[in-house]
Amino acid sequence: MAKRDYYEILGVSKGATAAEIKKAYRKKAIEFHPDKNPDDKTAEAKFKEAAEAYEILSDADKKARYDQFGHQAFENGGGGGFGGGGMNMDDIFSQFGDIFGGGGFGGGFSGFGGGGQRRVKGSNLRIRVKLTLEEIANGVEKKIKVKRKVQAPGTTYKTCSTCNGSGQVTRIANTILGRMQTSAPCNVCGGAGQTIDKKPADADAQGLKVAEETVSIKIPAGVVDGMQLKVSSKGNEAPGNGISGDLIVVIEEEQHEKLQREGDNLHYDLYISYPDAVLGTSKEIDTVTGKVRIKVEAGVQSGKILRLRGKGIPSINGYGKGDLLVHVNVWTPKTLNKQQKEFFESMQNDEHFEPKPESSDKSFFEKVKDMFS
């Protein structure tokens, strides 16, 4: 089932400001909040949907990638966004609790179910994955070894005595405006609501240890250099009953030996000899799906561009494939033997060797214009 447009979900235009996006999200969150709609699965789904939209549109970098590539910019085998199964209610309240405020439902939100503590989230991990042009064109599944922090076996936790398990401490201060009450994450447990009870010797102060895990990453066809994909819950774990961070996968495109990428199109430089240009020939060239043989007509001019439609990179938005543009370059010999030199000298004044461009022979600038149109 196709995902709904994020702007449509929040009811804002594509040119909406950050403040307008935040205001629209808060309105939707209040309307579909679980405290207001108990046991209503439809409302809960819309609450999560709005949080997913806000998570993307509130981040300038993610918003730019969404505007350019749509939902596929964040998809990774279903683990791209909240709606793909990576985010639950605790994730939403942990990440966006500041939008709701610090009180109960009447003055904001306290958390799912009306007042539970907000769970601490582990830190994200970031890795780079190098892809060949062929892998980008066809999509690929990579198995990557990742070192991440996990809870050490034998670690136990107890309720934090400072915040009594709430993860928040309340302070009252006297100001010129009167007595002010503020809430902040507990500085003893870091907002987790729990502290270490027992831990093995090889665990750190939070009861975590580094372990290596093989993570399978499905990379869709058409990704671009620098694009980031998210694998939910494969970052560092959090202590106690916290939730795991995410694994951020940064795409790094390896340079191809013969093909140059430009968006979804590919470029190939084909060099042919002078006799081949005069008489015509057929040549075998590389593509991202294997080798193909193309025909070069007799009398071809240097700079001619042959377009192989659909032989480029698939659009990440699902709009078909780009083309392979073959640039013909006629190779002029730099050294000649006596016989060859005499032949060309005899042809210098021959009318067949006189340049006679026709209206169909486009200039260099016209060819560049056609390439980008």
Classify strands 228-231 and 247-253 as parallel, antiparallel or unpaired.
Answer: antiparallel
DSSP string for residues in 184-239: EE-TTTTTSSEEEEE--TTS-TTSEEEEEEEEEEEE-TT--TT-EEEETT-SPPPS
Distance CA 146, CA 244 (A): 14
The answer to whether the beta carbons of residues 149 and 124 sit under 8 Å apart is no
State the CB neighbour count (10 A cutoff) for residue 359.
Answer: 5
Distance CA 154, CA 210 (A): 15
What is the length of the chain?
A: 373
Q: Which residues contact 50 (CB under 8 A, 6 or more apart)?
A: 9, 10, 25, 28, 29, 32
Structure tokens at 195: 């502290």
**Binding site feature residues:** 160, 163, 186, 189
Q: Residue 103 has what DSSP assignment?
A: S
Give the chain's largest Cα–Cα span.
105
CA 87 to chain centre: 17
**Binding site feature residues for Zn(2+):** 160, 163, 186, 189
Identify the helix (H) or strand (E) that includes residue 344.
Answer: helix 338-347
